[in-house]
Amino acid sequence: MTDSHTADAHSQRGLDLLAAGSPARAAQAFRAAIAADPAHVEAHHGLIRALRDAGQVNQAVGAAMALTVLTPGDPLAHTALSIALKQAGHIEQAEAAAARARILEWKQQLESPPGEESLL
């Protein structure tokens, strides 16, 4: 059972901690949000950012990979993976993840109803 209200509260705390310059504590808050609601996409993105900011780039890569599994069609998830991989020094894999993100963005644009402006 998921608790989206609790997840939202932990995620907001994580954002506040990131803004305050406490990425390690923010990562704990984002992990608590994910524990409350494993599908809380914003908490996953926050965790990736907090881990990167804390210098835990290998953990950030793992968190980003988990997000791409959770949301395989989301270009932002693949972009987050690309950034984490690049920061970890895995340039070739980072470029592949960035290419995947671009392909997913194009696919979304092609699938948009005619006349609808894309925000991408």
Q: Which domains does the chain have, with CATH numbers?
A: 4-111 (1.25.40.10)
Residue type (1 letter), 91: I
Per residue in 11-58, pLDDT (tens digit) is 999 999 999 999 999 999 999 999 999 999 999 999 999 999 999 999
Q: Residue 37: helix, strand or coil by DSSP?
A: coil
Tokens 């699938």 correspond to 111
Pairwise pLDDT comparison (112 vs 65), residue with the higher score: 65
pTM given for the model:
0.88
Q: Is the model's pLDDT at 118 over the cut of 80?
A: no
For residue 14, give the nearest of 4, 3, 24 by alpha carbon.
Answer: 24
Residues in the chain: 120
